Amino acid sequence: MNTPATDVDSTLDATARARDLVGVSRLTNSALTGWLHGLPGVDQVGCEARAAGLGTRSIKTTSKAWAIDLAISMIDLTTLEGADTRGRVRGLAAKALLPDPSDLSTPRPAAVCVYGDMVTTAKEVLGDSGVKVAAVATAFPSGRASMAVKLADTQDAVRAGADEIDMVIDRGAFLSGDYLTVFHQIAEVKKACVRADGSAARLKVIMETGELVTYDNVRRASWLSMLAGGDFIKTSTGKIQPAATLPVTLIMLEAVRDWRDLTGTMVGVKPAGGIKTSKDAIKFLVTVHEIAGEDWLDNHWFRFGASSLLNDLLLQRQRMTTGAYSGANYIADDSPSTAY
């Protein structure tokens, strides 16, 4: 499955690689349109039925314990509020380092996800713990800014030490059929992720699937994002409803699966927004498992963009460890929610 079906020279830049994959001598919007519109359609009802079917898998006992730990390890613990302060970000980062002080075997989330100006603060706490710092950039969440601003936003976060950049695509350009603009923006941001030492922050491309509306659009946006060099495709900013639904994630998992069949390259998937319960998270893991395959069951290739999900996973974890249902007072949290 890892054998590339198409011979692609990975040293080429995004445009050259895209020309190769699309099979054109010049990457025009009409070439991209023809390619993206040539992808198989998605039947909404069938897709949702498939997702619902996966959602009925019953994950119990040892599998559930394993899945809960895996889910915790996949979380991008996120705060993206105008009211974010250094204190709140420090608290969140501390939680990432020690999610459950009552059980030191609890795995750590994959990353802390913040606005660009909070990268330094998060990095101070996380250091070289292995927990990554992800920064949203490119005029998140709307993306309505000039390219210069978007690139500066990205470079700023990368210079501040961000390990990962979560960019937004120009949904307006996408919906008006200007795929080439979306392509170039992703490719440019990808270049901006390169650090002085030649290494690069991993780029997550937020498609804001709630604004794309149709699954056909989600599929096309996924392929466009991968073609332009995205390391991850991500559903949502968390600011728009619906956000990370299971069927949308299923479409994206099909896309990365088929992309690997075509190119031999793996791309990550990140559903973000709206995944709040352990039960939900496990449905996503089942979907990863049965659609993309086990290779994606790793936090290098699959993430949950979430905030309250972690606490529910910890509750379930305590329940499985102690045998008793737990409560909010047993979940240490720097900004406790009254929801528990």
Partner 1 sequence: MPTFEYAPAPESRAVVDLQSSYGLFINGEFVDGGGTSFKSISPATEEVLAEVSEATDADIDKAVAAARSAYTRVWSRMSGADRGKYLYRIARILQERAREFAVLETLDNGKPIKESRDVDVPIAAAHFFYHAGWADKLEYASLGTNPRPHGVVGQIIPWNFPLLMLAWKIAPALATGNTVVLKPAETTPLTALLFAEVCQQAELPPGVVNIVTGSGPTGQAIVDHPGIDKIAFTGSTGVGKMIARSIAGTRKKATLELGGKAANIVFDDAPIDQAVEGIVNGIFFNQGHVCCAGSRLLVQESIADEFDRRLKRRLGTLRVGDPLDKNTDVGAINSRAQLDRIVALTDVGEGEGAVRWDSGCALPTKGFWFRPTIFTGVSQTHRIAQEEIFGPVLSVLTFRTPQEAVAKANNTPYGLSAGIWTEKGSRILWMADQLKAGVVWANTFNQFDPTSPFGGYKESGYGREGGRHGLEAYVKTGA
Partner 2 sequence: MARVDVKKTYKLYIGGKFPRSESGRSYEVYAAPSTTRRPRTEPPRFLANAAQGSRKDARDAVTAARAAQPGWAGATAYNRGQVLYRVAEVMESRRPQLVQEVRDAEGLSPAAAEAVVSQAIDRWVWYAGWSDKYVQILGGLNPVAGPYFNISASEPTGVVAVLAPQGSSLLGLVSVLAPIIVSGNAAVVVTSADRPLPAITLAECLATSDVPGGVVNIISGKASEIAPWLASHRDVNAIDLCGAADADGVDWAALEEASADNLKRVLRPAGEGAGAVEPDWSQTPDLSRLTAFLETKTVWHPKGR
Residue numbers of the site for partner 1 (CB under 8 A)? 40-43, 45-47, 49-50, 56-64, 66-67, 254, 285-286, 289-290, 294, 297-298
241 binds partner 2 (CB under 8 A): no
Among 215, 223, 232, 304, binds partner 2 (CB under 8 A): 215
Question: Of 123, 132, 190, 234, which is the active-site residue?
Answer: 234
d(CA 269, CA 257): 10
Strands across the sheet with 132-136, in order? Answer: 268-270, 232-234, 202-206, 164-168, 132-136, 111-115, 75-78, 304-306
Using the rule CB under 8 A, is 127 a contact of partner 2? no
Q: Please, what's the largest Cα pairwise distance for the chain? A: 64
For residue 112, give the nearest of 98, 128, 126 by alpha carbon: 126
Out of partner 2, partner 1, none, what residue 102 binds, judged by CB under 5 to 8 A for its kind, is none
Decide: residue 41, CB within 10 A, 0-12 exposed, 13-18 middle, 19+ buried. exposed
Nearer to partner 1, 41 or 127 (CB): 41
* Residue nearer to partner 2 on the CB measure, 217 or 316: 217
| Residue 34 site contact among partner 1, partner 2, none (CB < 5 to 8 Å, cut-off depends on kind) | none
Respond yes or no: is residue 166 known to be catalytic. Answer: yes
- What would the two tokens of residue 247 be? 């069927």
Tell me: does residue 43 bind partner 2 (CB under 8 A). Answer: yes
Binding partner at 6 among partner 1, partner 2, none, C-beta below 5 to 8 Å by kind:
none
Kindly state whether residue 45 participates in binding partner 2, applying the rule CB under 8 A: yes
Close Cβ partners of 264 (under 8 Å, ≥ 6 residues apart): 2, 3, 4, 5, 8
234 is catalytic: yes
Q: Tell me which of partner 1, partner 2, none is bound by residue 41, counting a contact when its beta carbon lies within the kind-specific cut-off of 5 to 8 angstroms.
A: partner 1
Q: What is the DSSP string of 117-168?
A: GGHHHHHHHHTTSS-EEEEE-SSTTT--S-HHHHHHHHHHHHHTT-SEEEEE
Whichever of 43 and 334 has its CB closer to partner 2, that residue is 43
Which listed residue (166, 170, 216, 258) is catalytic?
166
Q: Which positions lie near partner 2, rule CB under 8 A?
A: 43-46, 48, 213-215
